[in-house]
A and B are shown apart, each in its own frame.
Chain A
Amino acid sequence: MLELKGITFGVAESRGKKEILKDINLTVGENQFVVITGPNGGGKSTLAKVIMGIEKPDGGKILFDGEDITEKNITERANMGISFALQQPVRFKGVQVLDLIRLAAKKQLSAADACQYLSEVGLCAKDYINREVNASLSGGELKRIEIATVLARGTRLSVFDEPEAGIDLWSFQNLIQVFENMREKTNGSIVIISHQERILEIADEIVVISDGAVIKQGSREEILPEILGTASAPGGCQFYRRNA
């Protein structure tokens, strides 16, 4: 349903151009659960932004359900059925959590219905629904609200950029559950950028990106044993295991 063909992306630097993505080719199938992993600075987040239209590639094509969406903007892609959870969620003064979830769902959800999405991401809904999405929320709380907005949209493709970043280890268990549930319900395709072994373990397919290129790609059974304990699945996993 999503195809990336020869995607290149670079940024201007004082000494010429730095290539962030070098000829990325990737296919995400219908209802597939794909985890993209790899070392920091390898281009994973940039790739996610290119899929959503936040960054425009220098070359290559993006196809969504066979349609070329390379020239489409963020709004158009969102309305075609692509969702995106930012790695660093944004704060909005005066906008309540309920407002944001209603905007995401594109309907006047009742507070009770909106609460359901918050409960799914492990937030005690009644404490949050009327709060403002401002600096009074912690990074972890914001992150879960961000994920709840993607759940509320329920689109055919959801892209999550490091959903575990900023979430404490104790809440992480809960988050894994969210993704496991999404996987079970198979409502759409999911692309997650993650370093977490627990997330890698529920993937249908794992893609390893390093230095702007896909260096490994295949089924979980095939890729997971190869990358565990290497630089592609760094420290966090061991740390998590120790504390679990």
Chain B
Amino acid sequence: MDKILEEMLLKVADLHGIPEGAYNIRANGELAGRSTTANIDIVTRKDKSGIDVYIKPGTKKESVHIPVIMSKSGLTELVCNDFYIGDDSDVTIVAGCGIHNSGSMESRHDGLHRFFVGKNAKLTYIEKHYGDGDGTGGRVMNPKTEITIEEGGSMEMETVQIKGIDSTKRETVAHLKENAKLIVQERLMTHGKQSAESRFDVSMDGENASANIISRSVARDSSHQIFFSNLQGNSPCAGHTECDAIIMDDAKISSLPEITANHPDAALIHEAAIGKIAGEQIIKLMTLGLTEEEAETQIVNGFLK
């Protein structure tokens, strides 16, 4: 693996080298390393490009790293990964995608991740997206996530896209059974002429299912963001969706939260706010000795933390 790829690996997976435990590293469309454990198996898919990850029931405190890194300009790939999280397990999956494009052709990574979270299983899923390179070619990422959570299972999903992706269209669809719980924390920052679209469709089908979708984003320069979220309460359940955005410069942001109750005991809330950094926030930090620019950075970093 060369320097560029190593750097990408650090950015998207916080990995300084080969991770411990189970991992699968995909570099420039090819397998660059894999390790499995007694409880976690990773198998290459035969029908499509991608992997199947099997986590045995009852697996506790183990993690799987599955970074994808690309440094060849003009590479386009579609990766389909399935994750089977066994009943009663408690695991962390860290996925990340980094694109370095120094060329003039578009580099594109489209991913479909399907999660099958077993009964009473607990999954933490962390996803980071990052792009760099000084080429004129676009860096495009379109991740799609499909989630099914069985009775009593829970999933916490953290997605971060802070820099460098020119165009992204992310879609997350989830179905929650009885007592299943989904928490999503999305952090997004766009700059330059980037565009980002994020869509969540969550169906709470079982009794006492709950979902909390929280998106925080910052749009700078002349970038453009659209956020959709649709929570459907089909049973006695609790759902909350919140989209909070800071708008700067000449950016544009649309936020479309939607909640649908198909059951009288579905309690659903949506909140959405778009606004620029409040002048008083800048003033307060300036009274602590920060310059206006430092204050702005501090506020944005805190907001996206």
A residues apposed to B, CB below 8 Å:
52, 54, 73-75, 78-79, 83-84, 86, 88-90, 92-96, 99, 103-104, 106, 149, 153
Contacts and interface: CB of A to CB of B under 8 A. Distances in A.
Contact of B299 (A74, A78, A92): A92
A94 B302 contact: yes
B302 A93 contact: yes
B302 A75 contact: no
Contact of B286 (A73, A89, A95, A153): A73
Interface in B263-305: 278, 280-281, 283-292, 298-299, 302-305
A75 B291 contact: yes
A93 B288 contact: no
B158 interface: no
A93 B303 contact: yes
A97 to B, nearest CB: 12
In this complex, the interface size class of chain B, counting residues with CB under 8 Å from chain A, is 20 to 34
B193 to A, nearest CB: 26
A86 B288 CA distance: 12
9 closest cross-chain pairs (CB), A and B = A95-B302, A74-B286, A94-B302, A78-B289, A94-B303, A90-B284, A90-B280, A84-B287, A79-B289
Contacts of B113: none
Contact of B281 (A52, A84, A90, A99): A90
Contacts of A52: 287
Nearest to A106: B289
Contact of A83 (B281, B285, B287, B299): B287
Contacts of B291: 75
Contacts of A83: 287
Contacts of B278: 90
8 contacts: A52-B287, A74-B283, A92-B303, A93-B302, A94-B305, A95-B298, A99-B302, A153-B289
Contact of B285 (A79, A103, A153): A103
Contacts of B288: 78, 103-104, 106, 149, 153
